[in-house]
């Protein structure tokens, strides 16, 4: 072999030879811990997390860049029995992500094991070309470590590892396994980007997270959040006006709460989180609006950023 070329051509040669890049889909049933894991991997809160199932409503990209690799992690909604346009759209996104990735992480709550609903995910993954890793989650929970692992029904020969996204146990090892499975190639994104989502979308999600945590029963599933105004003209204090959309007048009353207590509480929590995200002070104004059809049409779901 001849001598190595020097300068820029040497750098690009190095990138093509050693560098890895690819798409990793984080998949699983609702509440498996997908969003918590992407946040842990990225070291930033990109995806909202609540104790309720079906929190995530869209694919969210987290870009992890290091000298030897760029990993494009996609958080996805939990695969579930779909009801209505929103449910169907969520599941469609999950299946699309599963078919269209280099590596699929199938997250399984260790305390629940494999469930019949996982079969559809295995089926779709079997059709695609992705390398599959089965990941047991919430290893820190009492009893999780004693559960059979890999779980019964686990496809033979598929690598399986266990993590706790809360304590970080196993996460570094998971990342190394993922990088090894990625194809060689140059990075897709400039190094400083960590997501493709605009901050106003992340801000809307943080309002939704606060609402999910504070409202009981079915109400969180009947609401969506839209940012009506995002004013950065004063960089010391960003002004945000967000609208909480509900389907019925009765839901609007519950979201506002008696004497406005509930909406005030939602506002306080959401503002705290948005300030942490933006690193500045935020003035957050919340309005509740009845929009009976927000969840019914693909067009309005797209406008809300759920596609």
Binding residues (CB under 6 A) for ligand GTP: these are: 28, 30-36, 49-51, 53-56, 77-78, 137-138, 140-141, 164-166
Q: State the nearest-atom distance from the C-beta of 197 to Mg ion, in Å.
A: 14
Give the HSE-up count for residue 1: Cα atoms under 13 Å, Cβ half-sphere.
3
**CB of 174 within 8 A of CB of 133?**
yes
Complex with ligand GTP: residue 19 or 59, whichever CB lies closer: 59
- Please report, for residues 3, 131, 205, the alpha-carbon distance to residue 52 in angstroms, rounded to integers and kept in the order given: 60, 29, 15
Exposed, middle or buried, 44 (CB in 10 Å: 0-12/13-18/19+)?
middle
User: What DSSP state is assigned to residue 184?
Assistant: B
Q: Hey, which residues between 55 and 94 contact Mg ion (CB under 5 A)? A: 55-56
54 near Mg ion, rule: CB under 5 A: no
Q: State the nearest-atom distance from the C-beta of 301 to ligand GTP, in Å.
A: 16
User: What DSSP state is assigned to residue 71?
Assistant: E
Please give the full DSSP string across 13-28, using - where no structure is assigned: HHHHHH-EEEEEEEEE
Complex with ligand GTP: residue 87 or 185, whichever CB lies closer: 87
* From 13-21, 28-36, 197-205, 260-268, span contacting Mg ion (CB under 5 A): 28-36
Residues 6+ apart with CB under 8 A from 18: 68, 184
> Which entry of Mg ion, ligand GTP, none binds 32, CB below 5 to 8 A by partner kind?
ligand GTP
> Which entry of ligand GTP, Mg ion, none binds 137, CB below 5 to 8 A by partner kind?
ligand GTP
- Quick count: other Cβ atoms within 10 Å of Cβ 83? 10
Residues 6+ apart with CB under 8 A from 167: 139, 140
Complex with Mg ion: residue 34 or 154, whichever CB lies closer: 34
Complex with ligand GTP: residue 166 or 252, whichever CB lies closer: 166
Complex with Mg ion: residue 51 or 216, whichever CB lies closer: 51
> Which entry of ligand GTP, Mg ion, none binds 141, CB below 5 to 8 A by partner kind?
ligand GTP
- Tokens (6 digits) for 298: 């693909």
Rounded Cα distance, 23 and 221, in Å: 29
- Count the site residues for Mg ion by CB under 5 A: 4
Complex with Mg ion: residue 79 or 219, whichever CB lies closer: 79
Complex with ligand GTP: residue 21 or 49, whichever CB lies closer: 49
Exposed, middle or buried, 271 (CB in 10 Å: 0-12/13-18/19+)?
buried
Complex with Mg ion: residue 150 or 220, whichever CB lies closer: 220
Q: State the nearest-atom distance from the C-beta of 194 to Mg ion, in Å.
A: 17
Q: Which 3 state secondary structure label does DSSP give 289?
A: strand
Rounded Cα distance, 137 and 109, in Å: 5
One residue of 35, 39, 195, 251 binding Mg ion per CB under 5 A:
35
> Which entry of Mg ion, ligand GTP, none binds 304, CB below 5 to 8 A by partner kind?
none
> Which entry of ligand GTP, Mg ion, none binds 22, CB below 5 to 8 A by partner kind?
none
Give the HSE-up count for residue 197: Cα atoms under 13 Å, Cβ half-sphere.
22
> Which entry of Mg ion, ligand GTP, none binds 118, CB below 5 to 8 A by partner kind?
none
Q: State the nearest-atom distance from the C-beta of 97 to ligand GTP, in Å.
A: 13
Give me the residues that bind Mg ion (CB under 5 A), please: 34-35, 55-56
């Amino acid at each position: 072999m001849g001598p190595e070329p020097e300068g820029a051509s040497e750098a690009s040669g190095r990138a093509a030879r050693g560098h890895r890049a690819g798409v990793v889909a984080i998949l699983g049933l609702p509440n498996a811990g997908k969003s918590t894991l992407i946040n842990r991997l990225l070291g930033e809160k990109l995806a909202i997390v609540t104790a309720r199932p079906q929190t995530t409503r869209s694919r969210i990209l987290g870009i992890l860049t290091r000298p030897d690799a760029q990993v494009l992690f996609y958080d996805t909604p939990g695969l579930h029995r779909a009801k209505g346009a929103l449910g169907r759209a969520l599941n469609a996104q999950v299946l699309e992500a599963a078919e269209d990735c280099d590596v699929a992480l199938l997250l399984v709550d260790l305390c629940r094991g494999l469930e019949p609903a996982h079969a559809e995910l295995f089926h779709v993954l079997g059709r695609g070309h992705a390398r599959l890793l089965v990941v047991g989650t919430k290893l820190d929970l009492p009893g999780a470590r004693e559960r059979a692992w890999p779980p019964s029904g686990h496809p033979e020969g598929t690598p399986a590892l266990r993590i706790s996204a809360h304590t970080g146990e196993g996460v570094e090892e998971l990342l190394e396994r993922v990088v090894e499975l990625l194809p060689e190639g140059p990075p897709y994104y400039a190094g400083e980007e960590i997501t493709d989502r605009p901050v106003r979308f992340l801000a809307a999600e943080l309002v939704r997270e606060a609402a999910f945590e504070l409202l009981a029963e079915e109400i969180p599933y009947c609401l969506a959040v839209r940012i009506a105004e995002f004013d950065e003209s004063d960089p010391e204090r960003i002004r945000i006006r967000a609208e909480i959309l509900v389907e019925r007048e009765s839901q609007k009353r519950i979201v506002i709460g008696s004497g406005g207590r509930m909406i005030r509480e939602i506002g306080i929590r959401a503002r705290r989180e948005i300030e942490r995200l933006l690193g500045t002070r935020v003035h957050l104004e919340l309005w509740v609006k009845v929009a009976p059809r927000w969840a019914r049409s693909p067009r309005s779901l797209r406008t809300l950023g759920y596609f």
